[in-house]
Structure 1
Amino acid sequence: MRLCLKIKPFMPVYRNLQKAIATRNFALENADKIVLNADDAEAVKLMAESVKAHPAASKLLALILEPEKAIMWQESDLTMKGKIDGLLPFGVLDLKTTTSAEMKDFEKSIFKFGYHIQAAHYLAGAAANDLPAENFYIIAVENEPPYCTAVFVVDHETIEAGEKERQKLIKLYKECMSSGIWPGYSDKIQTVRLPFWALKLINEDENDDY
């Protein structure tokens, strides 16, 4: 997002610089920049070009009122925080890198990585700060060549589902804060086994041998 909006410069670092004093001096001289190696710098450049070349993405970028908008608000006796990639006149814009920007794949990514919860959180924060909070848009750019880009608006049913999950997490967090107990994995010995599909695959291979 920063490169797309030209917010902050970045400086590629080449492998021959990654040596003791040279690396230290390089870091000091470029302290105000995001330091990337040459390969990553080229990939970021191509991803940014892909985003800016996408008609819908470029239109949304042009409409941004404020990039990297930090927000805070009080909710359920807690201080909430967030940083919006791009504040739009009609909602929130977020940039995501992804292995696949194809809709059916990205829908899975939304659930897997909790983007629906993030969407609900940022829209709640925007509303609490009297900022536009109608819709949550995502620019998804693939992180492998040819770095294809797609643009999505998260539907309201998904936002509502994300809000339900968000409220559950807020409740859990408050319970943990109150009790001092932060549950992790089981503290008992557990029996582990191969997943069903793996056992089925092994059994099928065994039957094929006869």
Structure 2
Amino acid sequence: MTEQEYRQHPAVSRSDLWRLKDSPEKFKFYRENPVEPTQALIFGQLFHAVVLQPEQVQEMFAVAPDCDKRTKAGREEYAAFVESAQGKTVVTLEQMAEAQKMCDAVKRHTLASKLLGGVHEKEYLWTDEITGENCKCRADIVTKVGGMPLVVDLKTTTDASTAGFSREALRYGYGFQAAMYLEGVNKVTECEHNFVIIAIEKTQPYAVNVLLAPRQFVQHGYGTFRELIEIYHDCKQSGVWYGYNGKDNMLGELLLPSWME
């Protein structure tokens, strides 16, 4: 599938389920009212394409010319660019250069470069055995290194140090992602994989860290996956996409931080 075809496929994805952590009400709203991608998201997509799909970068992205739109010539040049860029994601020269520098840093990293082989940007579709819900994931890389089958994910970050990125992984649900991706890839391929993240910082010197998701990390994420897929299934069955006060509309309580308690 192309990325657009994958996004339009009706099966539920990791990013879909992660929205349920806020509330089913928000999940339903954003699914019916998709928002424009942020610049951070666009850059992440560009970086992934430069590393994993270099032959398709020109088909997917259009680099805006460095023209002075205050002048007639500049406005005409930019208008011609917009006309030619239909259907492509527009990025700047600076974004393209930055993505290429980060790609070069990943390829210079001995361990990370070994992980770049294998199948890139492949979709995996499966049915959850407990809820019967159709699920999907699109793995950055599925490969085998030293006889070990791996699902590899590229992540950009402000802090790729082991301690710093571990905190980020918990905050953004990377354990949940690891569990859901392994669930899908393992079922489709009938082979047990491990989950590895290539984390790269977005500022010079573009430091790289390669980190394995250990068993306990994935197990914790699997608990989150089971919780969210079952909430999704229940809401679909009932037609009730509830908000912050829960399915039974119960009164909540204000929280104190643990140090204050």
Normalised TM-score (structure 2) = 0.66
Say what the alpha-carbon RMSD is for the aligned residues: 2.8
Determine if the alignment matches structure 1 residue 8 to structure 2 residue 56.
Answer: yes
Distance 1:136 1:94 in 2: 8
Distance 2:142 2:88 in 1: 23
Q: Which has the higher contact order (CA 8 A, sep 6+)?
A: 2
1:38 CA displacement: 1.9
Shift >6 Å, 4+ stretches:
17-20, 187-197
1:133 CA displacement: 3.6
Distance 2:76 2:135 in 1: 41
In the alignment, structure 1 segments of 5+ residues that lack a partner are 200-210
Structure with more of its chain in strand, by fraction: 1
Determine if the alignment matches structure 1 residue 135 to structure 2 residue 194.
Answer: yes
- Percent identity over the alignment is 29
1:124 CA displacement: 0.6
After superposition, the C-alpha distances for 1:108-128 in whole angstroms (9 at most, x for unaligned) are 111100011011111110112
1:141 CA displacement: 0.7
For residues 81-160 of structure 1, the aligned pairs below 5 Å read 81-89=136-144, 90-130=149-189, 132-160=191-219
Tell which deviates more after alignment, 157-166 or 36-45. Answer: 36-45
Normalised TM-score (structure 1) = 0.81
* Matched residue SS, 2:115: helix
Tell which deviates more after alignment, 109-118 or 126-135. Answer: 126-135
Given residue 93 of structure 1, which amino acid in structure 2 is its aligned partner? V
Given residue 126 of structure 2, which amino acid in structure 1 is its aligned partner? W
Q: CA 1:51–1:164 in 2, change beyond 3 Å: closer, same or farther?
A: same
2:236 equivalent in structure 1: 177
Distance 1:188 1:24 in 2: 54
* Matched residue SS, 2:240: coil
Aligned residues: 196
* Matched residue SS, 2:211: strand
Tell which deviates more after alignment, 31-40 or 18-27. Answer: 18-27
